[in-house]
Amino acid sequence: MCGIFAYTGKKGKDAGGVLLDGLLSLEYRGYDSAGIYTPESGSVRTPGAVAELRKKIPKGFKGKSGIAHLRWATHGEPTEKNAHPHSDCEGEVWVVHNGIIENFKELKEKLIKKGHTFTSDSDTEVLAHLVEEHLKKEKSFEKAALAALNEVNGTYGIALQYKKEPDRIIAARMGSPIVLGLGDGEHFIASDPSPILPHTKKVVFLEDGEVAVISPDGHRIFKLDSTKVKRDATNIDWSAEATQKGGHEHFMLKEIMEGPEVIENTLRGRLIIEKGLAKLGGLESVAKQLEKIERVIVVACGTAYYAGLVGEYMLEEYAGIPVEVELGSEFRYRKSVINEKTVVLGISQSGETADTLEALREGKRRGALTLGIVNTVGSTIARETDAGVYNHAGPEISVASTKAFLSQLTALALFTMFFGRQRGMSEATGREIAKALKELPEKLQQILDTKESIQKLAKKYSKARDFLYIGRKYNYPIAYEGAIKLKEISYVHAEGCGAGEMKHGPIAMIDENFPTMAIAPKDSMYEKMVSNIHEIKARKGPVIAIATKGDKEIAKLADDVLYVPETLEMLSPILNVVPLQLFAYYFAKEKGLNVDRPRNLAKSVTVE
């Protein structure tokens, strides 16, 4: 989803180059047009990619400061005129914006009556004109910007620049993330830390309702009512290299290959194996309250939602606590029965997904304790929840979430141990889970080592137009997750289904051209899965089975088998999903598609 980057410095750096490089590291968020402005050279905008923008920038384009943007269309088509930055009538006030100005129509009408001329369909442009209008009365840019911000409703992350004060850039945040980068003689504004990290690790996150002014030498933060805000900087330890591809052709493959390390990082320092305990520092402040909790409602979207569904099985079986999993986009419209003995647990890689965030806010309003499993340090969900656990999966760049999913499941297993041991789970069971968790990275590596055979399989099935994914119990959500991976990056129809539900509809689609991925490890559901595979074979459907290493029987039944090492049933999704991720990756690659940036999708969806 839209990305902002702004720079001001006195080091003699070429702001244009800094801004374009920054936009490249925001590309993963998903966008459809791009633009840049410097007070010295003006603006360049284009539909399409940053590479297009680079081509369009004329020789001699220069600047010591500037603002830049990647747009994901909401109001108005992805065209040059709708791309950001937008300006006022005189081309002096420039703005880049993430979010939606809800009262833009009224404001626009008012401004048109006052003689302003608009050149785009975008809601954002109204902001530049509003600042221009206020500059007629307020001689200071800062005051005019503040007055304008006080007039708009909606959500925004903003960077504003004024040609007559080129050193200074104003940022503001209301519902859409903004982070400041504090360098030596240079300062930055961005919608997430990735474009800042190559320059400085020192960042400050803005809260909703806050405004910041940066100049080469410093920054100030204040609220919309002008009261000063003091906030310490945070050091972000993601290296700039970590956001690069590390030798792989795509970020998605790199991120899948990082799986073993990611699980280790999520577990690091959190297991006391001999006592069968999970030590979660982020939950300590609410540990007493958690003992009295009677119900957990997980809220999440997309892949994180499927992680939540696995968590439901884990928590109910091992912690004996009732769990419900709800889509973030639905939860707030339900009249769920919530009280102070309810935990609303948000799961989010980005920590910025608007639907998940709003669901958590709703939970909080209704008196629940809110917790988070979040990957992005300092993100809105991380800050707004009462307590929580970071995934420590590192930055995930590819739109299709892979390593973050593994870390979400790992964190849920830790949650389960934590809740479980508070509710009578035996030390022996705790030990068993802890040991099995510790063994996962090595087992996962064994799967990754078979990636060439998965690539061959993807090639074999590359002409198929439809796939069914089936699984049961812990692996029922994995059927959905496997299907979403394939469809989001290859645009091929793939349907997830609880294997028991197959006979109530999906089986009607099966024929010799409709392959099924059957997740059938040797667990409590094995016999039932084998029956389902028989049902598909009886209808001539090709079957690819995900099976436990050593299971020779299934090879007689299925057309192809991908083997996975054995582990505890509750942890098996963490292994079983990986061949499905690799299959989706190689399948899309075989089709020559843009694996890391699939069409129509965004990495972080900050609108509802």
46 binds ligand G6P (CB under 6 A): no
**Considering only 46-54, 158-166, 212-220, 599-607, which stretch makes contact with ligand G6P by CB under 6 A?**
599-607
**Considering only 227-235, 342-350, 425-433, 495-503, which stretch makes contact with ligand G6P by CB under 6 A?**
342-350
**Considering only 280-288, 302-310, 529-537, 578-586, which stretch makes contact with ligand G6P by CB under 6 A?**
302-310
348 binds ligand G6P (CB under 6 A): yes
Torsion angle defined by CA atoms of residues 375, 598, 23 and 45, in that order, rounded to the nearest 10 degrees: -150
CB–CB of 34/48 below 8 Å? yes
Q: How many CB atoms lie within 10 A of CB 333?
A: 9
Q: Which of 405, 469, 458, 395 has its CA nearest to residue 585?
A: 458
Smallest distance from ligand G6P to CB 581, Å: 12
Mention every residue, 6+ apart, whose C-beta is less than 8 A from residue 81: 45, 119, 120, 121
3-state DSSP assignment of residue 269: coil
Q: How many CB atoms lie within 10 A of CB 326?
A: 19
Q: Choose between 433 and 605: whose C-beta lies nearer to ligand G6P.
A: 605
327 binds ligand G6P (CB under 6 A): no
**Considering only 105-113, 348-356, 384-392, 520-528, which stretch makes contact with ligand G6P by CB under 6 A?**
348-356
Mention every residue, 6+ apart, whose C-beta is less than 8 A from residue 186: 7, 8, 9, 10, 11, 13, 199, 200, 216
**CA–CA distance, 263 with 339 (Å, rounded to integer):** 34
Instruction: Give 357's DSSP letter.
Output: H
342 binds ligand G6P (CB under 6 A): no
**The length of the chain, given as a count of residues:** 608
CB–CB of 437/571 below 8 Å? yes
**Considering only 6-14, 75-83, 299-307, 547-555, which stretch makes contact with ligand G6P by CB under 6 A?**
299-307
Q: Choose between 306 and 514: whose C-beta lies nearer to ligand G6P.
A: 306
Torsion angle defined by CA atoms of residues 184, 189, 193 and 196, in that order, rounded to the nearest 10 degrees: -40
Smallest distance from ligand G6P to CB 240, Å: 22
Smallest distance from ligand G6P to CB 251, Å: 12
Q: Choose between 436 and 484: whose C-beta lies nearer to ligand G6P.
A: 484
**CA–CA distance, 592 with 102 (Å, rounded to integer):** 39
Among 304, 414, 518, 533, binds ligand G6P (CB under 6 A): 304
**CA–CA distance, 6 with 98 (Å, rounded to integer):** 13
Q: Choose between 399 and 436: whose C-beta lies nearer to ligand G6P.
A: 399
CB–CB of 358/328 below 8 Å? yes
Smallest distance from ligand G6P to CB 309, Å: 13
Residue nearest to ligand G6P (CB): 302
603 binds ligand G6P (CB under 6 A): yes
Residue 535 phi/psi, 5-degree rounding, is -60, -40
**Considering only 133-141, 145-153, 201-209, 300-308, which stretch makes contact with ligand G6P by CB under 6 A?**
300-308
**CA–CA distance, 107 with 145 (Å, rounded to integer):** 15
Q: Choose between 8 and 376: whose C-beta lies nearer to ligand G6P.
A: 376
Smallest distance from ligand G6P to CB 43, Å: 29
Among 53, 83, 189, 301, binds ligand G6P (CB under 6 A): 301
Mention every residue, 6+ apart, whose C-beta is less than 8 A from residue 366: 336, 338
Cross-strand pairs, 298: 325, 345
Smallest distance from ligand G6P to CB 523, Å: 26
Among 89, 229, 242, 601, binds ligand G6P (CB under 6 A): 601
353 binds ligand G6P (CB under 6 A): yes
23 binds ligand G6P (CB under 6 A): no
605 binds ligand G6P (CB under 6 A): yes
Q: Choose between 256 and 530: whose C-beta lies nearer to ligand G6P.
A: 256
Q: What's at 72, amino acid-wise?
A: W
Q: Choose between 85 and 372: whose C-beta lies nearer to ligand G6P.
A: 372
Total chain residues near ligand G6P (CB under 6 A): 16
Residue carrying structure tokens 């020789």: 59
Smallest distance from ligand G6P to CB 336, Å: 20
Among 46, 265, 303, 380, binds ligand G6P (CB under 6 A): 303
Q: Choose between 272 and 601: whose C-beta lies nearer to ligand G6P.
A: 601
236 binds ligand G6P (CB under 6 A): no
CB–CB of 210/172 below 8 Å? yes
Q: Are strands 218-223 and 210-215 parallel, antiparallel or unpaired?
A: antiparallel
- Point out the residues that are catalytic: 2, 603
Q: What Å distances lie between residue 298 and 173, 328, 330, 450, 497, CA to CA?
A: 27, 9, 12, 34, 21
Site string for ligand G6P, 389-408 (x = CB under 6 A): ----------xxx-------
Q: Which two tokens stand for residue 408?
A: 């979400």
Residue carrying structure tokens 């059957």: 518
Q: Which residues bind ligand G6P (CB under 6 A)?
A: 301-304, 348-350, 353, 356, 399-401, 601, 603-605
